Chain A
């Protein structure tokens, strides 16, 4: 026994208990004993309570049950027949529709600020699951968590079903009687149109037509997530009307300045591109390097190899310092920008960051043309401009950075201008297509009050939200799955959006409403979209149209990105020949509306940058003058998805909070302000104040507080109400992204925050009657630097708790199994922690939502848990992420203890579960070392159905809906495996090809971190992934042979950077397992 203990002890040199190297929270790090209670009980406190409000005690229940059974048994005869079920066929079945077989349709959506091509699964006419469309070149088959969850919005119980007049229900007839042709006559004086930044060629065409007829019509555009600063930055350097496009896959060195491009500011394409350059299989492979300079701890910061914490207000200084270092290192600035050199050297960045900046500069200079400086939306236009300058000087423009025309409504003014027009009383008719300005417009504009001044306001929205309840007319908006439309991406790809289901409540889309208002001919969405593309379709329009609908991409129109002759001093001639002349692409119907025409010969012009730079102010932050940051939330985006229970319950990727937002600050700031997690604090900025709960999380810079947007809605619907705090209340038009000068004071009350970060932790010091077993949780996520990987490709083995050869098993080890054996490999090197897999799993497998109270009790239901661990220094930690779901262990501990054999092993390696057999002892959940089994404490599906009856339509008919009292867990999407096997047996040789089965998580992952397949097939992708030297099994010392293995995380540490030792080597265990043999007994 002592030998067993010694083998399990990690550090024979010292008897001091080892501190956990990967810690989930500060409580975890400091060994807060309150967490032990949470961890030791499989079902923490409250397990014995029935909280449904019936007030029936267990004893009373047993008595009732007994009595009922006695009476019922007397009347049982004749009551054995199952209830009558009906089969209700079609009266006329659509051709090729096989009941039970899903049909997939291509469409597209503008979600989370990006255009995503989608393939949506339709079961018997109901959309049930959203996937990416692999044929869409911009999004390449990946749909993030917002898109995955959007299918539930179609069945939202709070969708409005009828139009409303001044907040009171009305009828469609009344609406059209008032609104039809409202904008038809006249020259548009007094009319204003507010759109929400949707890049739609048809919308642009209709607006252009309207403006042609009514030249005095004013068009405005606003969306909380619009990239206004990035656009202004492009305008500043001569790329007017253009947007920046990044080719992350081509960059070897990336500097992210206040940019969360792997999180809320990015697209699935940026994650995928980054991962392509990040992926490593052999030690000889190249890996990109990411530097992150940020004020909050974001997912990009998690991935970063080197991270510097700076307040957002000082990012400009940082970039200037970097520029100065680059110039000092020999970088030639483009012509016209010499005026900036003095501004750069007067950057004002604190001197102790000097070494960091100079090492970074050297790295950039060594990677000209293959590097990238990305600036986040939060930074003002001159900072973006400076980044363009540095990119241009480094030769990145045309390689990793390019420009393309913005396809949102051309010439639209900002909402500030609209506010001025409202003030001036020059707006009599205000039409708002989408958006929710009364909730999310900058607070200093006081949009809600100003709307009241307008004689007629019409708001198109999917629910009677904050804006619609104030508008004269509320028009129910169609969900994108119910509507026709078209969307163009940054790279010029156009996708047609086609409906999968007729509008559930007769709702209309933006273009249809506009057609009604302008009284122009057809008001059907399909006709409007077809008209836009008729001339591009040529003679064969009908056939082309059907191909476009089938593929989801309009092939005809492909705008080449605007070539820019990067005007580097020496080789202007070379630059001219490098860039191909742009082709003029005509889209006749969309002639002036979509700006698809490439502008030949445009180039960057930095002449106005110096003046703009001089206008930048610098700010100092302190605990009396705090910096607050406004960022779109990692789960509900800008608040428009606030009534989506899946997204509300999805733990925020960094804070792991569900159902609420909080003011996030680091421990030093919290200490200085006297604030703890859960305290309700009041933050004041520019005379306005906000009461919000505080959350303490390491990793942010001192005196900077993150206020996520999108919560605190009062008219968002039943799930959005009461969730979180409205940070928009502090966001003014002069400080849309960050502001300095806020003060914080405690209110004295507290607020319960429900988060999942401390669940499933392994006890670092397990006390047993035989002594203390110290558990090194470092083995969850194994990390090393790229250099260590090159030195020792088998470094993951050095981090094993026990060498494989010492492992014994209590059970007969499985022999080589025959046939196809399923396995999964998750590459932690490219997993960004975005949690798209979690939502995809929830959508595919009918996983229910349990609500905030139960999350607080540890009764989360999602099958995939995205763990986030901090590592390293408490003040300035790094973080790693790891998705954990059922690992389908070959000798699964859960299978051994089920008293009724409800969970068994299938011949192809899956750990099966038969819900009908389960009696709910939860012994399996108790025995699972990964803690991935979930128990239905209540009849969650009945509760969910009662709250949202329509959402029952979203459920996947191929997966059982679980009842109360059964345990559930990841099944490797066995319904997809079954379907593939059946198809293979019916059509072929019974062998499923590699790539035919893709579980929902793997399909959703933007970086392809999850690979699934047949491990008996030596050519399959998963076999190759598992052959990777970085492959390891979590908790391998338990010898349970999980089928899901992980590939260890690498950091591409730059040894020249200060603090390079932060990326720890763990090499005190470099001696490997050998030293265990000396531990004698």
Chain B
């Protein structure tokens, strides 16, 4: 009888049995890593309509985060400031700078500036800033060293597992509420122990780990 199968099919079975699980593992790993927010979102640095530099304003000039993002302690969103806030200083400082033209136009005409959002959560996840600040989570914990960024980029994955890592064990990430905007604060050096902070009183932390904590 003629050979129906070519000779190389003799080893085919062996390679499939060994190669398929390995291949599957590779595919799974690739998707797990390269499709995860860790890879896809960290480092996202879109171009903004106005070349606003946090490194200059927050870093060099030392303006507190909350001067501009003033709703962060009362509301869910740390809102991008209205152009009016910029003009508080820029009425007097760099009044002719072409980079600030969109801001001046905005104040004159009432048209808004189209900032590009950097830290995005999907619409079905609801995040509240005020409660995190009240608990003592620093801005730098989730946003990184913004005071060193000329252009804002996303430093943390902001994925659900990343959030849950802290929700399941918040204490290592806490700082005194007064230090929330201090990007250079070093908890270890200060020897801060949130369990023994008198300012916290008896308030127990209860970061939600259940679905409706964030998904409504």
A-to-B contact residues, CB < 8 Å: 80-82, 84-93, 98-101, 819, 904-907, 910, 912-917, 958-961, 971, 974-975, 977-978, 982, 985-986, 989-990
Residues of A within 8 A of B115 (CB): 86-89
Would you call B71 and A98 a contact (CB within 8 A)?
yes
- Bound form: Cα–Cα A285–B73 in Å: 49
Known contacts A99-B77, A99-B79; A84 and B216 CB within 8 A of each other: no
Q: Contact between A990 and B204 (Cβ–Cβ < 8 Å)? A: yes
CB-based nearest A residue for B49 = A86
Report chain B residues within 8 Å CB of A910: 212
Summed over the interface, the residue pairs from A and B with CB atoms below 8 Å come to a total of 134
Which residue of B is nearest A81, CB measured? B40
Interface centre among B44, B111, B210, by most A CB within 10 Å?
B210
A residues in contact with B35, CB < 8 Å: 80
Choice from B76, B112, B135, B212 contacting A971 with Cβ under 8 Å: B212
A977–B208 Cα gap in the complex (Å)?
Answer: 13
Given A91-B111, A960-B123, residue A84 in contact with residue B46 (CB < 8 A): yes
Q: A99-B71, A913-B211 are in contact. Are A90 and B112 (CB under 8 A)?
A: yes
A and B contact pairs by CB, cutoff 8 A, 9 listed: A84-B117, A90-B112, A98-B71, A98-B79, A913-B211, A914-B124, A975-B126, A985-B131, A985-B203
A86 touches B114 (CB 8 A): yes
Within the assembled complex, what's the spacing in Å between the Cα atoms of A100 and B80? 12
Decide if B212 touches A91 in the complex (CB within 8 Å).
no
Chain B residues near A98: list those with CB within 8 A.
71, 74-75, 79
User: Are B80 and A89 touching (Cβ within 8 A)?
Assistant: yes
User: Which residue of chain B has the shortest Cβ distance to A90 in the bound complex?
Assistant: B82
The answer to whether B212 and A906 touch across the interface, beta carbons within 8 angstroms, is yes
Question: With A and B bound together, what is the CA distance between A990 and B208 in angstroms?
Answer: 13
Residues on the B chain within 8 Å of A99, using CB: 71, 75, 77, 79
Instruction: Evaluate contact between A89 and B210: CB separation under 8 angstroms.
Output: no
Is B38 engaged at the interface, CB distance under 8 Å to the other chain?
Answer: no
Does B53 count as interface, using CB distance less than 8 angstroms?
no
B37 to chain A, nearest CB (A): 10
Tell me if B130 and A88 are in contact (CB < 8 A): no
Contacts A92-B84, A960-B216, A971-B216 hold; do A85 and B116 have CB atoms under 8 A apart?
yes
Do A906 and B211 touch across chains, with their CB atoms under 8 A apart? Answer: yes
Q: Is the CB of A904 within 8 A of B211?
A: yes
Contact B211 A88, beta carbon cutoff 8 Å: no
Question: Per-residue 0/1 for B187-216: is the Cβ within 8 Å of any A Cβ (1 yes, 0 no)?
Answer: 000000000000000011010101111011
B134 at the interface (CB under 8 A from A): yes
Q: Do A89 and B81 form a contact, CB below 8 Å, given A99-B75, A101-B75, A960-B124?
A: yes
Instruction: List B residues at the A interface (Cβ < 8 Å).
Output: 34-35, 40-41, 44, 46, 71, 73-77, 79-84, 106-107, 109-117, 120, 122-124, 126, 128, 130-131, 134-135, 203-204, 206, 208, 210-213, 215-216
CA separation between A707 and B126, bound complex, in Å? 48
Q: Which 9 A-B pairs have the closest CB atoms?
A: A912-B211, A906-B210, A98-B75, A912-B212, A85-B117, A93-B82, A986-B134, A90-B82, A100-B76
Alpha-carbon distance between A90 and B86 when the two chains are bound, in angstroms: 12
Distance between Cα atoms of A826 and B130 in the complex (Å): 34
Q: Which residues of A contact B211 (CB under 8 A)?
A: 904, 906, 912-914, 917
A902: shortest Cβ distance to chain B, in Å? Answer: 8
Beyond A906-B212, A916-B122, 16 additional contacts (C-beta under 8 Å) are: A80-B34, A91-B84, A92-B107, A93-B79, A101-B74, A101-B75, A819-B206, A905-B210, A912-B212, A915-B124, A959-B216, A960-B123, A960-B216, A961-B123, A971-B212, A990-B203
Shortest Cβ distance from B210 into A: residue: A906
Q: Which of A958, A971, A974, A975 has the most CB of B within 10 A?
A: A974
Contacts of B41 in A (CB 8 A): 82
The closest CB in chain B to the CB of A80 belongs to B40
Q: Which residues of B contact A913 (CB under 8 A)?
A: 211, 215
Q: Is the CB of B216 within 8 A of A88?
A: no
B114 near A91 with CB under 8 A, answer: no
In the docked arrangement, what's the CA distance between A985 and B122, Å?
25
A582 nearest CB across to chain B (Å): 49
Residues in B with CB closer than 8 Å to A990 are 203-204, 206
What is the distance, in angstroms, from A338's C-beta to the closest C-beta of chain B?
Answer: 68
CA distance A916 to B215 in the complex (A): 9
Which B residues are CB-close (under 8 A) to A101? 71, 74-76
| C-alpha gap A92/B206 in the complex (Å) | 37
Select A93's contact among B84, B113, B204, B216, beta carbons within 8 Å: B84
B83, B126, B203: the one within 8 Å of A989 (CB): B203
Cα A452 to Cα B134 in complex, Å, equals 68
**Which residues does chain A contribute within 8 Å of B215, judged by CB atoms?**
912-916, 960
Chain B's nearest CB lies how many Å from the CB of A134? 24
In the docked arrangement, what's the CA distance between A84 and B115, Å? 10
**With A88-B114, A98-B74 as contacts: A912 and B83 at CB distance below 8 Å:** no
CA distance A90 to B152 in the complex (A): 21
| B75-A100 in contact (CB<8A) | yes
B19 to chain A, nearest CB (A): 20
- Report the minimal beta-carbon distance from A978 to chain B, rounded to whole angstroms: 7
Residues of chain A contacted by B71 (CB below 8 angstroms): 98-101
- Determine if A982 and B110 form an interchain contact, defined as CB atoms under 8 angstroms apart: no
Q: Are A91 and B216 in contact (CB under 8 A)?
A: no
Query: B76 contacts A87, CB within 8 Å?
Result: no
Nearest A residue to B114 by beta-carbon distance? A86
Q: Taking each of B35, B44, B206, which has the highest tally of chain A beta carbons within 10 Å of its own beta carbon?
A: B206
Chain B residues within 8 Å of A82, by CB: 41, 120
Query: Is B123 touching A904 in the complex (CB atoms < 8 A)?
Result: no
A648 CB to nearest B CB, Å: 27
Q: How far in angstroms is the closest Cβ of chain A from B103?
A: 9
Knowing A91-B107, A93-B82, A982-B130 touch, does A912 contact B210 (C-beta < 8 A)? yes
Report which of A85, A88, A978, A982 forms a contact with B112, defined as CB distance below 8 A.
A88
Bound CA span A457–B116, Å: 52
Q: How far is the CA of A93 from the CA of B80 in the complex (A)?
A: 11
Report B-chain residues with C-beta under 8 Å of the C-beta of A960. 123-124, 215-216
B131 contacts A89, CB within 8 Å?
Answer: no
Query: Are A982 and B212 in contact, CB atoms less than 8 angstroms apart?
Result: no
Asked whether, in the complex, the Cβ of B130 is within 8 Å of the Cβ of A91, the reply is no
Closest beta carbon of chain A to B90's beta carbon, Å: 14
Q: Do B131 and A982 have beta carbons less than 8 Å apart? A: yes
Contact between A916 and B107 (Cβ–Cβ < 8 Å)? no
In the complex, what residue of chain A is closest to B202 when comparing beta carbons? A989
Q: Which residues of A contact B131 (CB under 8 A)?
A: 982, 985-986
Most chain B beta-carbon neighbours within 10 Å: one of A819, A910, A985: A985
Residues of B within 8 A of A917 (CB): 211
Most buried by A among B35, B84, B109, B130: B130
How far, in whole Å, are A914 and B125 apart by their CA atoms in the complex? 9
* B116 / chain A contacts, CB cutoff of 8 Å: 84-87
Q: Which residues of A contact B124 (CB under 8 A)?
A: 914-916, 960
CB within 8 Å for A907 and B210 given contacts A81-B40, A974-B216, A986-B134:
yes
Instruction: Please give the distance in Å from B64's CB to the nearest CB on chain A.
Output: 18
| Given the contacts A87-B80, A99-B79, A958 and B216 also touching, CB distance less than 8 Å | yes
Q: How far is the CB of B210 from chain A (nearest CB, A)?
A: 4
Which of B40, B110, B212 is packed against the most chain A CB atoms within 10 Å? B212
Chain A residues with CB under 8 Å of B123's CB are 960-961
Contact B82 A89, beta carbon cutoff 8 Å: yes
**Chain A proximity of B74: nearest CB distance (Å):** 5
Instruction: Check A91–B40 contact: CB distance below 8 A.
Output: no
In the bound complex, how far is the Cα of B181 from the Cα of A580, in angstroms? Answer: 65
**Whose C-beta in chain A lies nearest to the C-beta of B207?**
A985
Q: Which residues on A sit within 8 Å (CB–CB) of B120?
A: 82, 85
Residue in B closest to A984 when the chains form the complex, CB atoms: B131
Q: How far is the CB of A726 from chain B (nearest CB, A)?
A: 42
Contacts of A86 in B (CB 8 A): 114-117
How distant is the Cα of A101 from the Cα of B130 in the complex, in angstroms?
11
Interface contact B210-A91, CB-CB below 8 Å: no
CB distance from B169 to the nearest CB of A (A): 17
Compute how far the CA of A989 lies from the CA of B74 in the bound complex, rounded to whole angstroms: 16
Instruction: Provide the residues of chain A in CB contact with B106, threshold 8 Å.
Output: 91
A978-B216 contact in complex given A80-B40, A89-B112, C-beta closer than 8 Å:
yes
